[in-house]
């Protein structure tokens, strides 16, 4: 039976959220990052690793008491690829990894389970990417055995450049659930999310 873990990226600078760290905004009475991490914890059977960077201590406080491993990315200001690298250098001991974003509170445990099931039913040696209406989503699923390939490019590590440069190593999975394609980067996006969840 394949074991699935997760790397959740929570290191970004939240520049477009103005004075707020978006990962600490309240979702259902908890900081966004805690809500997202709890969703992953309920959907995977392996370890969950959270990569921190910007305001790391505040993120760690928001996750207090949860059974996660925290990995700090000292290069967080250089962008997301280096947070993916930090997670891949200290990965959960699993067969497959969800690599996801800390700012996707619309995702549900059911969405993540659907993604995992679709990956396991497809070519498990490839990276699986949610895809709908011409749009790539997150999280993606990475076979653990691909870590060396994703770490080989020292200037742009991780998945985004690799999957575009090596399309034969990736597959699109038809998953229409909105949570895969929605993240919260701006005050307007957060207000819209709140509006949909309070109706």
What ranges do the domains of the chain cover? 4-198
* CB proximity list for 75: less than 8 A, separation 6 or greater: 53, 82, 85, 86
Q: How confident is the model at residue 14 (pLDDT cuts 50, 70, 90)?
A: low
pTM over 0.85: yes
- The arithmetic mean of pLDDT across residues 56-85, rounded, is 94
In the DSSP assignment, the letter for residue 111 is H
- Smallest CA-to-CA distance from 103 within 26, 184, 24 is with 184
- Superfamily (CATH) of domain 4-198: Spore Coat Polysaccharide Biosynthesis Protein SpsA; Chain A (3.90.550.10)
Q: How confident is the model at residue 197 (pLDDT cuts 50, 70, 90)?
A: low
Higher pLDDT, residue 199 or 110? 110
* CB proximity list for 19: less than 8 A, separation 6 or greater: none
pLDDT at position 190 is 79
175-195 pLDDT tens trace: 999 999 999 877 777 777 777
């Amino acid at each position: 039976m394949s074991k699935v873990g997760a790397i959740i990226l929570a290191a970004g600078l939240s520049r477009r959220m103005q004075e707020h760290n978006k990962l600490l905004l309240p979702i259902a009475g908890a900081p966004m990052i805690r809500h997202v991490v709890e969703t992953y914890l309920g959907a995977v059977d392996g370890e969950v690793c959270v990569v921190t960077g910007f305001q790391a201590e505040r993120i760690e406080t928001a996750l207090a008491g949860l059974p996660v491993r925290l990995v700090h990315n000292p290069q967080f200001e250089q962008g997301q690829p280096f947070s993916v690298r930090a997670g891949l250098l200290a990965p959960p001991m699993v067969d497959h990894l969800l690599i996801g974003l800390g700012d996707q509170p619309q995702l549900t445990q059911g969405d993540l389970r659907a993604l995992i099931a679709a990956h396991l039913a497809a070519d498990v040696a490839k990276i699986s990417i949610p895809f709908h209406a011409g749009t790539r989503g997150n999280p993606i699923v990475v076979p653990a055995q691909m870590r060396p390939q994703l770490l080989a490019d020292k200037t742009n590590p991780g998945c985004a450049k690799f999957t575009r440069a090596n399309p034969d190593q990736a597959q699109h999975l038809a998953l229409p659930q909105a949570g895969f394609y929605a993240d919260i980067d701006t005050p307007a996006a957060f207000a819209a999310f709140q509006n949909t969840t309070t109706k």
